[in-house]
Amino acid sequence: MNYRIRHTTRYQYPDVVSHCFNEARMSPLTAHGQQCVRSRFVIHPTPDYTSQREDYFGNQVTSFHILQPHRELTVTVYSDVHVDDLSQPLLFMKDTPWEAVRDQLAASLDSALLSVREFVLPSELAPLLEDVRAYALLSFLPGRPLLEAVKDLNKRIFTDFKYDPASTTISTPLADVLAQRAGVCQDFAHLAIACVRSVGLPARYVSGYLETLPPPGEEKMVGADASHAWFAVHNLDDGWVAFDPTNNVQPGVQHIMLAAGRDFADVTPLKGVIFGGAQHQLSVSVDVARHSG
Amino acid sequence: MTAEARQSAALLDLGASYGEAASGYDEMWVPLEKAPHAHWQILMQDLSRLRGGELERRRLESSRLLRENGVTYNVYNDPRGQQRTWQLDPIPLMISSADWAVISAGLKQRARLLDYILRDLYGPRHLIRDGLLPPELVFSHQGFLRPCDQTLDSEQQQLLLYAADLARGPDGRMWVIGDRTQAPSGAGYALETRSAMTRVMAAEFRHNQVHRLSLFFRNLRAMLSGLMADKKDDPHVVLLTPGPRNETYFEHAYLASYLGYTLVQGDDLSVRDGKVWMKSIDGLKQVDIIVRRVDDTFCDPLELREDSLLGVPGLLEAARQGNVVIANPLGSSLLESPALNPFLPNIAQKILGEEILLPSAATWWCGDKTARDHVLKNLADLVIKPIDRRLPSIFASSLDKAGLETLKTQILSAPYLYVGQQVLSCSTAPSLRDEKIVPRRALLRTFLTAHQGDYDVMPGGLTRTAPDEHSVFITNQTGGLSKDTWVLADKPDDQTSLWPSPQARVGAAVHEVALTSRSGENLYWVGRYAARAEAILRVLRSVIYKLSDYDDYRDDSDLQVLERLLVALTFQTGMFPGFVGDEAKEKMRNPRAEIMRMATDPNHPGSLIGTLNLLMQSAFNVRDIWSVDTWRVIDDIDEILQSIADGEPSFVTLQNNLDSLLGCLMAFFGQTQESMPHESGWYLFNIGRRMERALQLSGLVRHTVLFRSSEVVEHLILEALLVNQESLSSHRRRYRAAQSPSTVFDLMLLDVRHPRSLAYQVRKISELVERLPQSQPVERSHSLNDEQRIILKLYTEFQLADLNRLVKVNDESGVRTVLDGLLTNVEKRVRKASEFLTQRYFSHTSDAYQLAPTRTELL
């Protein structure tokens, strides 16, 4: 499937911002059955400095500095992405008991697997909590194959938790999300990751987009798509296998990956330090459109 | 008995009581031989020869020297106030030349090893791939900063500065018990300690052949200058400090000034074009090398800790682009992990092909199953340390059963975060306590700098000793004592000065150390506060004189003069209502309490003490600018302030203190004229001083002679004004016995040759302002900038002033209206000029905020 994506982020400040320093992780990944054909940034005001690099986790980072006074910052990224249909191989994946995967990973001296062990460790937004482990163990039953257990966990989060943007903010701790059984995709992804790690298995956070389709017969609204987040587990044989607990699915051609890391903090789409302008208004719009070729 | 026999008898005495107190390995005393180690012989002979109390006298002397030089250690996060003078034990730790050869070889090897690990972990990570370091040991450490990945040049030395804490074990070998790899501190204290010791222990120092420290600092300088060798011959080096609130700020200022680098804080720097620039009085100056004393994660709020106010956004990007070198590079705190210890011998063998020379304290990393079992089994005998600074160390021996269980659970929940470490019973060394020489546990901090592809070790270091005989833990926060470390040499060192030989410097560009805008602003305020304090002091003195005149004679004219002085004082201090308003008459009856308050209220910024505190604060903020002797004067002021704060308030002592303070201020002004180079900083300091003096004098004139008064009162007021301004004799010389408003105004307002007159201040301001750098923005050479223009206008007003009109009192209002106009112009224009200066030279960065990150939401 081919997509053309337009992602606009606009900050408006009541006071003048004298200068700002920013980092964006908004260029889609080329990996795991996805190719980013092209990705172009349009930034207003025009930055005085920009540079591109690949970060520790293999994500594309664009740094830009703006040194002129401004009251509005707009970052628009146009990307063309091709997503392979991997639904067939997904059906035929080998699935081994999760304890075996855990032990094999801990004992392996394979250099690629040694670096996967980083994703077993707790991270700031997906910490080690007793309650999380208890919740996880209901899916990680003894002897159960890994992917089957994760699929079950994915489904339980979908069923047990209410999707409610009003219930959490960007800084709501995981323990609260778990207690109130509500949150947004980011919270669900963190919860799932913490669960998987709590039993000694590697999990990572994926940020990206989800193509939404209008109800039959209606026109698709401009800007109606949104950025999205899900997670992936590593099963040693096939690498990272993705799950989307917000929609209870395994991501297919409608999920487009931007970046992956230990948790949201590693893949924040746009962050920055601004001088002046304590207050700001933020608006985001995303369009994911199919196109042929 | 011969003299010699007497001496060895004295030494034996000393040894006998000392030996009894010592248990375990002692640095000096050999129990079996009942004699000091050979390398302590000379020193102990010398010490045993000293008369009773002499060592204590020298200890006090060294304390005084350190205090006067401002060697302090901030105990809490409070600038001044909570500083503690560095406490020095005058008995050095002696290390023999043979012993040092072993130690320094071991230290160099360890530095090479850590350097390799640093480059590898932020580069190819072979150590993990090849199984030499477990992944969790690295990945779970807070100091492993992923944004720093691949930012280090793996072909070049990266660990540029290194400090290791050593302790001697019961076996007599030195053990490494801690590594400092991100921003090691202490080298400056070692240097300052040495300079005090060579004064108080001069003879003893001469009798032993002690290695000098200066070569180390020369190598350090050379290393830093060479870091940009491929790009620049003469790189701009700055020392980045967290600021005056940091516990070791003294050292930052001291080293910056010793090495000749500009001392900067985070917001003195900014990143443009991927390069780092310093905001200086003459505009932006590119920075090539940053010696940092700010912790890793605080250095860049964009990529590292978002809540850091100490860093420079974009700094890591500048380093990544190779446009700035940071010593040590960001990310190097990872090497401080005690979990590395058990893996070092193997890495040394595999990578360097060498056996490890210096042992580390026995350490078990709990991420490893076997090691964890060992730790849990022997918990009570170990100290449990987190691998990073998240949590404090726990001495398990101090825990009860329940505590041990909690600790076990804590370890088991995330074992890779902990190590167990053997508690090393370190050696004791002779220390002076309560005038006696007693054994105390000692730790030695050693310092290394990268040097020509290898490392150079400072031959010496900072030894710290435990406060009492039971203490095992030594920190300066809890009151340990430090001592000098004398490494003995086989042959005398060449005298090495810090600077290269004169020949080598010929041709090298001579340039000012650029002044940061922040320092410029502080200097300007030092000038203002110092002049304001002086003005308040002088009026307080006049008030006290008048008050005693009035007490003696009860003359109503004296009272009227007193009233006007008190009004002037109230306006000066801003402590309203004071002697202004409805209750003024009542307060005048018994003014002492209110006067006392205006002098000594520490909580009001306008009181004399309040003003002096502001002065001290501004002076402390530019600690690196003052010469040793200037600082000594500042310290004297501080000492008087302390005694006022501690003492009972009394008028008699107040009067004495006022005299001493005035003396100090005058000495301070004198020092700055004589010892500060006449550069931007000096201009700003003097502009501040002249502006404040103009404002103060204008205020005093306004509140004393603006209004009509009887002839007698006017005469007394004019006289008080002349006395207040130290101008009575000048006036007499010029006008003989005649004294009238016009003679006094002529001298005090209009005479441009009299340094106390208003016109003189204005002329000076105008001269000084012209000398400030004019680069920004580019102005036409013939036109004046705003502050020059406004001061010129004011100066012209003085030149055009008509003395006869100035003295004339308006019949209706009873006011000297022309004088009023002139004074108003002084106040208005000086304030305006100050605003222009502030805008032009003291760049005020607006506050920094984090951009709220976009939240992921699915609609």
Of B428, B484, B462, the residue nearest B202 (C-alpha): B484
Tokens of B112: 């090479």
| DSSP helix, strand, coil percent of chain A (3-state; round to 5) | 25, 40, 35
Q: Does A127 touch chain B (CB under 8 A)?
A: no
Are residues B84 and B259 in contact, defined by beta-carbon separation less than 8 angstroms?
Answer: no
Contact: A51, B314; criterion CB under 8 Å = no
Q: Does B390 touch chain A (CB under 8 A)?
A: no
Q: Please, which residues 269-328 of chain B have a Cβ atom closer than 8 Å to chain A? A: 271-274, 301-303, 306, 313-314, 317, 320-321
Distance separating alpha carbons of residues A243 and A250, to the nearest angstrom:
5
- Nearest CA to CA, how far is A56 from chain B (Å)? 6
Contact: B848, A268; criterion CB under 8 Å = no
Residue count of chain B: 859
- The pLDDT tens digits for A19-32 are 999 999 999 999 88
Q: Which of B271, B854, B859 sits opposite A270 (nearest CB)?
A: B854
Neighbouring C-beta atoms of residue A8, cutoff 10 Å: 16
Interface test with B, best of A7, A15, A21 (most B CBs within 10 A): A21
Q: Which of A65, A165, A284 sits opposite B271 (nearest CB)?
A: A65
Contact: B139, A117; criterion CB under 8 Å = yes
Query: For position B508, what pLDDT does the model report?
Result: 45
Q: Which of A20, A111, A264 sits opposite B129 (nearest CB)?
A: A111
Beta-carbon contacts of B363 under 8 Å, excluding residues fewer than 6 positions away, are: B338, B339, B341, B342, B419, B420, B421, B422
Q: Does A269 touch chain B (CB under 8 A)?
A: yes
Contact: A264, B856; criterion CB under 8 Å = yes
Model-wide pTM > 0.80? yes
- Nearest CA to CA, how far is A174 from chain B (Å)? 15
Interface test with A, best of B151, B320, B858 (most A CBs within 10 A): B858
Question: H or E segment at B544?
Answer: helix B517-553
Query: For position B245, what pLDDT does the model report?
Result: 85
Of B449, B418, B465, the residue nearest B168 (C-alpha): B465
What is the three-class DSSP state of A126?
A: strand
Question: Considering only alpha carbons, which residue of chain B is nearest residue A168?
Answer: B855
| Cβ neighbours of A210 in B, within 8 Å | 858
Distance separating alpha carbons of residues B212 and A53, to the nearest angstrom:
47
The mean predicted confidence, pLDDT, of chain A is 93
- Nearest CA to CA, how far is A44 from chain B (Å)? 16
Q: Is the dihedral of CA B506, B507, B512, B514 positive or negative?
A: negative
Contact: A65, B149; criterion CB under 8 Å = no
Domain ranges in chain A? 2-83+268-290, 87-263
Q: Does A275 touch chain B (CB under 8 A)?
A: yes
Contact: A228, B856; criterion CB under 8 Å = yes
What is the three-class DSSP state of B464?
A: strand
- Nearest CA to CA, how far is B300 from chain A (Å)? 10
Per-residue pLDDT tens, chain A, 293 aa: give them.
999 999 999 999 998 999 999 999 999 999 888 999 999 999 999 999 999 999 999 999 999 999 999 999 999 999 999 999 887 777 788 899 999 999 999 999 888 899 899 999 999 999 999 999 999 999 999 999 999 999 999 999 999 999 998 998 888 999 999 999 999 999 999 999 999 999 999 999 999 999 888 888 887 766 667 889 999 999 998 899 999 999 999 998 999 999 999 999 999 999 999 998 778 888 999 999 998 75
Q: Does B844 touch chain A (CB under 8 A)?
A: no
Q: Does A128 touch chain B (CB under 8 A)?
A: yes
Query: For position B83, what pLDDT does the model report?
Result: 59
Q: Which of A9, A48, A210 sits opposite B858 (nearest CB)?
A: A210
Contact: A56, B149; criterion CB under 8 Å = yes
Q: Does A63 touch chain B (CB under 8 A)?
A: yes
Question: Considering only alpha carbons, which residue of chain A is nearest residue B127?
Answer: A111
- The pLDDT tens digits for B48-57 are 889 888 999 9
CA-to-CA separations, B396 to B295, B380, B381, B473, in angstroms, rounded: 29, 5, 7, 14
- Nearest CA to CA, how far is B777 from chain A (Å)? 16
Q: Please, which residues 20-39 of chain A have a Cβ atom closer than 8 Å to chain B? A: 20-23
Contact: A184, B135; criterion CB under 8 Å = no
Question: Considering only alpha carbons, which residue of chain B is nearest residue A73?
Answer: B851
- CATH architecture entry for A2-83+268-290: Sandwich (2.60)
Contact: B849, A278; criterion CB under 8 Å = yes
What φ, ψ does residue B324 adopt, rounded to 5°? -150, 145
Contact: B135, A282; criterion CB under 8 Å = no
Q: Which of B414, B848, B854 sits opposite A275 (nearest CB)?
A: B848
Distance separating alpha carbons of residues B625 and B521, to the nearest angstrom:
13
Question: Considering only alpha carbons, which residue of chain B is nearest residue A165?
Answer: B857
| Cβ neighbours of A126 in B, within 8 Å | none
Low-confidence ranges of chain B (pLDDT < 70): 1-8, 72-85, 470-480, 494-512, 775-782, 843-846, 852-859
DSSP per position, A30-83: -BTTEEEEEEEEEEESPPSEEEEEE-TTS-EEEEEEE-S-EEEEEEEEEEEEEE
- Nearest CA to CA, how far is B239 from chain A (Å)? 23
Helix axes B592-600, B556-573, angle to 10 degrees: 30
Of B474, B479, B478, B483, the residue nearest B178 (C-alpha): B474
Interface test with A, best of B277, B303, B855, B859 (most A CBs within 10 A): B855
Query: For position B77, what pLDDT does the model report?
Result: 40
| Cβ neighbours of B301 in A, within 8 Å | 273
Contact: A186, B855; criterion CB under 8 Å = yes
Contact: A170, B846; criterion CB under 8 Å = no
Q: Which of A56, A169, A227 sits opposite B856 (nearest CB)?
A: A227
Across the A:B interface, residue pairs with CB atoms under 8 Å apart total 137
Question: Considering only alpha carbons, which residue of chain B is nearest residue A209?
Answer: B858
Contact: B856, A274; criterion CB under 8 Å = no
Determine if the peptide bond prior to B476 is cis (ω within 30°). no
Tokens of B64: 């005084």
| Cβ neighbours of A122 in B, within 8 Å | 414
Distance separating alpha carbons of residues A23 and A41, to the nearest angstrom:
12
Domain ranges in chain B? 236-287+289-323, 516-675, 680-844
Question: Which of the four CATH numbers 3.90.1150.10, 3.40.50.11290, 3.40.50.300, 3.30.470.20 does domain B236-287+289-323 have?
Answer: 3.40.50.11290
Q: Does A200 touch chain B (CB under 8 A)?
A: no
Could you tell me which CATH number the domain at A87-263 has?
Answer: 3.10.620.30
Query: For position B193, what pLDDT does the model report?
Result: 93
Q: Does B140 touch chain A (CB under 8 A)?
A: yes
Q: Does A8 touch chain B (CB under 8 A)?
A: no
Contact: B136, A121; criterion CB under 8 Å = yes
CA-to-CA separations, B490 to B97, B101, B103, B208, B209, in angstroms, rounded: 7, 11, 16, 10, 8
Question: Considering only alpha carbons, which residue of chain B is nearest residue A49?
Answer: B273
Tokens of B410: 């804590």
- Nearest CA to CA, how far is A103 from chain B (Å)? 14
- Nearest CA to CA, how far is A195 from chain B (Å)? 15
Instruction: Enumerate the H helices of B459-516 as residue ranges.
Output: 502-505
| Cβ neighbours of A256 in B, within 8 Å | none
Tokens of B511: 């340039």
